[in-house]
């Protein structure tokens, strides 16, 4: 039986895989809907029916890569779980194909509000919810300060990663993640 939804899903997956391959080969700037369609053996209209722009298509393609890899584990030890999660985030940001293409996408989000909105809706917000949920459990278990401002969690944890990724553009290492987690837990002030 060859009904159309599976064919559609397989085609969608092939287009997203092609987007990542081609993006890695030629870079985001040179990537075009035309070139992706040609390489994937699909019609350009097929792409535009699902994705309004190459930014939207690239975002979906990148998300297809990371699914589950950024889920939070819950071993009962919040420091260990945060480290694990920060390592996963750094590994994703710091390596191809995700890293360079995601960097280009964030660059695009600075001038394209639609890309920025999609990035937040599809990636940042769900990630924030997972992070806050894991931290809330830790807070309830007394592993996190009862005063800790959970709504700041994503900015405080991810901010230093993005700062290095986008601004200083220095290598992202696990040692860097360790230092951030240590500093955030201990705090800057004298007890």
* Residue numbers at the binding site for a second copy (CB under 8 A): 28-29, 79, 103-104, 106-111, 116, 119-120, 124, 142-149, 152, 154-156, 158-164, 166-169, 179-180, 182-191
Instruction: Give least dist CB 29 to a second copy, A.
Output: 6
Instruction: Give least dist CB 54 to a second copy, A.
Output: 14
Q: Would you say 94 or 107 has its CB closer to a second copy? A: 107
Q: Would you say 73 or 110 has its CB closer to a second copy? A: 110
Q: Would you say 13 or 121 has its CB closer to a second copy? A: 121
Q: Write out the two tokens for 85.
A: 């999660």
Q: Would you say 40 or 172 has its CB closer to a second copy? A: 172
Whether the Cβ atoms of residue 12 and residue 40 lie closer than 8 Å to each other = no
- C-alpha span between 144 and 122 (Å, rounded): 28
Instruction: Give least dist CB 185 to a second copy, A.
Output: 4
Q: How many residues are present in the chain?
A: 191
End-to-end CA separation in angstroms for the chain: 68
Whether the Cβ atoms of residue 36 and residue 53 lie closer than 8 Å to each other = no
Instruction: Give least dist CB 24 to a second copy, A.
Output: 15
Instruction: Give least dist CB 2 to a second copy, A.
Output: 42
161: cis peptide before it, omega within 30°? no
Q: Write out the two tokens for 45.
A: 């209209």
- C-alpha span between 180 and 71 (Å, rounded): 20
Helix %, strand %, coil % of the chain (to 5): 75, 0, 25
Q: Would you say 146 or 171 has its CB closer to a second copy? A: 146
């Amino acid at each position: 039986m060859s009904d159309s939804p599976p064919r559609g899903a397989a085609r969608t997956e092939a287009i997203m895989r092609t987007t990542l391959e081609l993006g890695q080969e030629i870079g985001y700037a040179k990537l075009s809907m035309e070139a992706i369609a040609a390489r994937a053996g699909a019609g350009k209209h097929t792409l535009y029916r699902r994705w309004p722009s190459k930014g939207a298509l690239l975002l979906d393609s990148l998300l297809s890569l990371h699914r589950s890899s950024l889920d939070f584990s819950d071993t009962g030890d919040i420091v260990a779980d945060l480290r694990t999660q920060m390592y996963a985030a750094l590994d994703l940001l710091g390596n191809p194909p995700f890293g360079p293409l995601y960097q280009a996408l964030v660059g695009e989000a600075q001038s394209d509000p639609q890309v920025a909105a999609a990035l937040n809706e599809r990636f940042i917000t769900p990630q924030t919810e997972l992070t806050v949920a894991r931290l809330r459990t830790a807070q309830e278990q007394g592993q996190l300060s009862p005063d800790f401002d959970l709504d700041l969690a994503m900015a405080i944890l991810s901010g230093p990663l993005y700062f290095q990724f986008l601004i200083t553009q220095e290598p992202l290492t696990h040692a860097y993640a360790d230092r951030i987690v240590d500093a955030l837990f201990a705090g800057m002030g004298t007890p």
